[in-house]
Structure 1
């Protein structure tokens, strides 16, 4: 894909988002905002799971802490502007990640996953018990959402659903771009090397625990961004919404369905789950049953997720095209053609492939 095509796609996407709420209305604008929030939440987890090889069953504690940080700031600080309120939630999630990182970065695999499951449940219990701070099961809600203001220039009312749509999409799109850019930096390549061969990274002079700690804090902070936008959108946050175990499983399922290790995988997964939830909720209230069935089918038949399946299809098509092109050559190329046909047959037996962005 050349630069002109990319610019055309980005421009078309921006125009589509500008007219989206005006064409489809407030309801589908709200659906899109929820999709975007969970896409960012899942991408922040994918930074750990797909790019660093660290599975977390407690990532909701950063999502919830970001939400509670913003809600408490708006509730107790009169006249707090919108951007500092969001930054308060992100700072709370970042500080929590800084506190937990020294305890978890020296382990990996099952130990890492189980430690986060324990920490996540601990945060859930604390949110229930500290009712005077968190509101417990009732949560914190009804706080005033400040306008987005540029002093002396303009002010936009964030209680307007369409204006909030543009604001939320801008914040989340900017966060996704920052995370994407981070994966393309030299440190992002070290991150992938930690996933593939941590011992070799250590031999090269990079301290693996310190590298994991930086990635961990960045991941938790951007989960906090998703939580901060979520609480502004819902104008309510409770213990169940913030720290429940299902909230931690959600980004894991989204990432696995979309494609672990691909940056766009969680975004595709969030779109798939959002579409499934929207369609199934019209006919049944057993949405979790349907999404669980989809997850099982993906693990069985497309273990690298939707983006992995697309990559396999692209490889299959490219191999077939190359083979057919070679088969049209001279008879002296017969031996080479046989090898190409054999490669094509092997390619067509693929159920998936390794992440294209960062092959193992």
Structure 2
């Protein structure tokens, strides 16, 4: 990772309104017919299992593009299928996309998408996950090693507070094809490996699948009955699988469980005490910056970045660790989720105990 002096700061902002089914690319115009638009941007997201993409990333991106001008957006979700994403990218290029904003299913496989776009003079913005090669125009994400460190620091601190600083833990990583998952893992190990915790077993979760995480954790509970004091889970989806396995096995009290993405269900697990923490990533500024960069590239405008990674102009945003004590001052304060969203009838008593609701 190489930091350089700032280049040129983007002086643009925007949003997109268009739609695409998960399998079929569809053109949508923002404010006017397609023939009058400035051009088109393709937004290619990796999966629907991770709630953030359809709930936050896509609408924030589309809304910002729409504010910037009369620009069409081609949207596609690859459903965690690299070959499908390749086809979606080819369809977008064939449809005349002027810019690709790509969150790759598989960072290495996506190099061929970048090469195809480059061959047609179409710039590619690597979104959230870095494509492992090719001539990228921009990369916007979070400091993903820091995400792993924040998770692990909160994890270790809570285990030590409970007097379990030398206990046995499970590590449930993300997808082995996701470059970010590797960074989360490295950041977490930087912290955990310096402690007295015993790693009982470690797993890379295919496709970030909660079901696969649940099955694996269930097997480890059977093997290490009574020894598990904590589960490092790389995101809220695999955390949900881990908690489901613990509940099904009747484990009590529940061990410390981490997460990431501030999914609504995760926040409800946190107020209930089933999950200890998550990592909040302000997805609105991430998606809006990607939209701004894409629009500037479409218009041939200059862009700048505060740093470079592998020669690519890059912005990395700061993640924030969130426990039950931080929800009001971070997630609720940013209107990411409201108290009403979190504190449904089933969680009212938990929210009162957490101080999110008055009695």
How would you bin the TM-score normalised by the shorter chain?
under 0.3
Structure with greater helix share of residues: 1
Q: Which has the higher contact order (CA 8 A, sep 6+)?
A: 1
TM-score by length of 2: 0.22
Which structure has the bigger radius of gyration?
1
TM-score by length of 1: 0.22
Structure with greater strand share of residues: 2
